Structure 1
Amino acid sequence: MKTTSSIPASCSISGADFSEADLPLLLDTDVCVAGGGTAGTAAAVSAARRGAKTVIVERGILLGGLQTMGCVYPCMPTYVDGSDTPYITDLNRRMENQGVSPVLGVESERYNGGGSSVYTAEILSLVYEEMCEEAGVSILYDASLIGAVTKDGKITECIVQTVEGLGRIRAKTFIDATGDALLSRFAGVPVEKGSETTGRNQPMSLRFEMTNIDVDRVIRFFDETLKDGRMEPSFIEKWKDDMAHGRPPFMEFAKIKSNEAFFQKAVETGELTQDDVLYIQGFSIPGKPNTMALNCPEMPPLDYSAADALSRSRAVSFGRRMMHRLAAYFVKNIPGFEKAYISREASMLGVRESWRIRGKYHLEAEDYWSARHFPDAVCRTAYPIDIHDVKLSFGEKLAKGQCYEIPYRALVTNEISNLIVAGRCISGSFAAQASFRIQPTCMSMGEAAGIAAAWGLSHDIEANAIRWEDIPKEERSYSSEG
């Protein structure tokens, strides 16, 4: 199945010309990472561990982005064994040392392979700061990226808004881990957005948590009463074994075909709207007994766009109303939720896709379907092309044991020589992005970006001229399987 991008790369955003602005210099560093989320934190830690003076610019006051502020857990699995790169292995070990094992350990067709993890947000943000402190990363919180200064095909400075006002950060290499390709667009890099077929972005979510839940009764209701087909025998046996040995069990429920009538009845009674029931999913959270994370509501993509500022703002209010309707419905209708209440709302929208750069290599759906490998691959995954849109379908996932790789060339551009991009906004089609956007893959991309940035600086090679395969194998986080 071959899918190619038909939309021409759009122009980057226009911004104020800061080249002659008399603004204070906040930092002069080797590597500046814009965005302290899943990919950005990995990039900063990896660069600093290799001797590069590094700063993270983060608009919030937590590292982790959607992992922490967006309540997005668990990580979706890569569906390929051995995909965890050293950064992820180290992170998992540190989480275990904090008393929370992030690894689900459920062996089934649905959770097969690397990356099946739940990172408890409050512990993860602490661990991320500890990793940064150990590596020597500077963190600039409460700082919004508002512009970039470019000269001769390089970014010389980025402009940020802080509590002190506007300021400059000068660096030798920049890493765009904003998720929305914001730094890239400020620097004039060509970008594209949305589906080549419909023009729409993937729908956004506004996740939340509920607590005081009898999780045991919830899972029994979905398994025994609703006959939830997602509950494979291995999943149920693992849950029963955890319960028998006093371990907090991991559980999940969702609106699927086998229980669709249960949720549809709520639309008929007026308790929920049709939008409310389009996507419903909940997970238990290790380290938070009697609490579940709700991977919903999901705002309809026909009405709300991740690439429109006013639309994104309206989506927040719309999503919050959906959230409270869903919570009230769960309390009234799902056994185990009777005494539950909303204990946390995400502090950022769950954006799956917005802008993507046009880099030296453009990943396509065909790269996924052909399980393509690359000599300059920085990671591998087999996560399916997961598009949350009923009008778009790209078939089943790869056969077990197959995977595709992401080349370093998809992280760099022709236009800006000292820029590396990491995370969901690397170069790829709408369909390809629907696969590589998941957390473990973004962490591995960030890790590779940090390694490449430090290696390039130490060898006087521009970021977009680095050949990942030329970096000594023992210094790379991942080497292609060939």
Structure 2
Amino acid sequence: MDMMNLKYDVVVIGSGPGGLPAAIAAARQGAKVLMIERNSYIGGNAVSGLPMLAFLDKKGRQVTAGIAQEFIDKLIARKACFGHRLCPMHNSVTVIQPDILKIIAFETCKDAGVDILLHCEPVRVDVENRRLKRVFVLGKGDLFAIEGKVFVDATGDGDVAYMAGAAYEKGEVLQPPTLMFTLGNLNHEKFFDYLEKNPDQLTYGGRIECGEGYDAAYFRASKNHVFVGLRKLIMELREKGECPIDRDTFIYINSPNEGQVYVNSTRHLNVDASNVFDLTRAVTEGHIQIEKLVDMMRKYVPGFENCYISNINTNLGVRETRRIMGIKKLTGDRIINGEVPEDTIALGSYKIDIHSGRDDSTILQILEEPYGIPYGCLVSKDIDGLMMSGRCISVDVEVLGSSRVMPTCMAIGEAAGVGAALAVKYNILPSEVNCQEVRKIIKDNGGILKV
């Protein structure tokens, strides 16, 4: 096996909502940046068909902008997005055409000067005196030793931090993953007619908080919507043994493309997606669940009679695994109180959204005000030169239920990239960076840190 040595200022591992903005932001600040990705595309869950939730808060105020909004503006210009729309269930929704975002992501990285290494995964690391020095990645049989001044772990699962020996937390029962898929040939109008005649299909059990106006008229008014419902039907079919999914609602994300929706409805209980055996089991279950679920929808739901599976996602959508411990940790009480500390580098406003890993239930708790994510949540407390971005930052389970949505992860990523670039610029550790300088750069580039 050959080994190639590479050297960069900032190395970002993972190109999803946490990694992509980190790489772009660091490069725009003058750092030499490499972004490593295991797939043949970049964008991660942002190109899965999932919606961008909570660019706006409950009151309609925009809380995320910067690079995240830049992507939305580029999508709108290509007629691949409708912008942001207030939603009684999700604060706001922003549906996109994911394949167009893939193109935009590559173009934006090229313009920023980000080097990209695809088809590669980290396999080990070098840590010397607490300092992360190198990440070794394997791709197509070749081993690459990549030296960096700062590393940003945007793997979602904190894989690099885990290999480096960084402290982490993991819930006793993790939120279940989902395998997304795409349906074609949905007759929306027929489905909306069904909802108008059966409004009880838009009632929710458990601890789901939803505002008024989430009804057939809301869905009919715009393609820019996310549907969550059919609980009554699902409960009835489960009693008959005809429901193949372990959840109490059916969810689709509408597409800008006519008759097409992205479905977020499979659920895989008792899965730790940082364990390859669990991951394999969930992916296997997901494919089998999808066909059975589509058969159920064709049989029982008007508008779905002639729908078909047009795509199944490459990767499982993972909600929760490792949370890497930082020099600060954000806790649920602070976001419920809407605290925005002086070292805030990103705002969040999405509900606390926790899917049970044990049964079919979901907690959806409204947050009245936006909250701030401190810079220290992005900096490892154990490993020097290591930062985190995306859902693996230093937060508790309640916060993760909110901060894991993609616009928030993108804002976190932009801050991580700026912080990493400043550490390189001043030849200091990320923990020594003046977060007020990070904040100034974010605001100068259109980011929002106060509403």
TM-score by length of 2: 0.90
1:111-163 deviation digits (Å, cap 9, x = unpaired) = 545xx312311101000000001001111000011111111222111000111
Contact 1:376–1:480 under 8 Å retained in 2? no
Q: Give the match for residue 250 of structure 1.
A: 224
Deviations 1:204-244 (A, max 9, x none): 111111101112211221233344437954765565555xx
**Are the structure 2 counterparts of residues 251 and 215 from structure 1 closer, same or farther at C-alpha, using a change threshold of 3 Å?**
farther
Aligned runs of 1:1-400 on 2, under 5 Å? 24-68=3-47, 70-77=48-55, 79=57, 81-105=61-85, 107-112=86-91, 116-194=93-171, 199-229=172-202, 233=213, 236-237=216-217, 239-242=219-222, 249-255=223-229, 259-273=230-244, 275-286=245-256, 288-301=257-270, 304-389=271-356, 396-399=365-368
- Counterpart amino acid of residue 272 in structure 1: C
330 and 317 in structure 1: CA distance in 2 versus 1, 3 angstrom threshold: same
Checking the alignment, whether the CA contact within 8 Å between 1:276 and 1:322 is kept in structure 2 is no
Could you report, residue by residue, the CA deviation over 1:362-403 in whole angstroms, capped at 9, with x for unpaired residues? 11111112222211111111212211117898773222xx12
- Aligned residue in 1 for 2:386: 419
Q: Residues 315, 358 of structure 1: CA spacing in aligned structure 2 closer, same or farther, 3 A cutoff?
A: same
Residue 132 of structure 2: SS of its match in structure 1? strand
* Structure 1 residues 341 and 76: alpha-carbon distance in aligned structure 2, compared to 1, 3 A threshold: farther
Change (3 A) 1:78 1:409: farther
Instruction: Select between 472-481 and 203-212 the one with higher mean Cα deviation.
Output: 472-481
Residue 206 of structure 2 corresponds to which residue in structure 1? Answer: none
Give, in angstroms, the shift of residue 327 of structure 1.
0.4
1:44-65 Cα deviation digits (max 9, x unpaired)? 0111111111111000011111
Q: How many residues align?
A: 438
Give the letter aligned to residue 65 of structure 1: G
Amino acid of the structure 1 residue aligned with 2:110: E
Change in 2 beyond 3 A, CA 1:260/1:453: closer
Report the AA paired with residue 266 of structure 1. L
Q: 1:15: which partner in 2?
A: none
Superposition RMSD on alpha carbons, in Å? 2.4
Aligned to 2:70, what secondary structure does the other structure show? helix
Amino acid at match of 2:154: A
Unpaired segments ≥5 residues, structure 1? 1-21, 243-248
User: Cα gap change, 1:89/1:299 in structure 2, threshold over 3 Å: closer, same or farther?
Assistant: same
Q: Distance in 2 between matches of 1:468 and 1:480?
A: 12
Change in CA separation of 1:315 and 1:393 when aligned onto 2, cut-off 3 Å: closer
1:147 touches 1:160 (CA, 8 Å); kept in 2?
A: yes
Alpha carbons 1:77, 1:111 under 8 Å: kept: no
Unaligned stretches of 5+ in structure 2?
A: 204-210
CA contact (8 A) 1:67 1:119 kept: no
What is the identity percentage for the equivalent residue pairs of Structure 1 and Structure 2?
Answer: 26
Amino acid at match of 1:253: F
Q: 1:475 to 1:204 in 2, by over 3 A?
A: closer
Which residue type is aligned with residue 73 of structure 1?
A: P
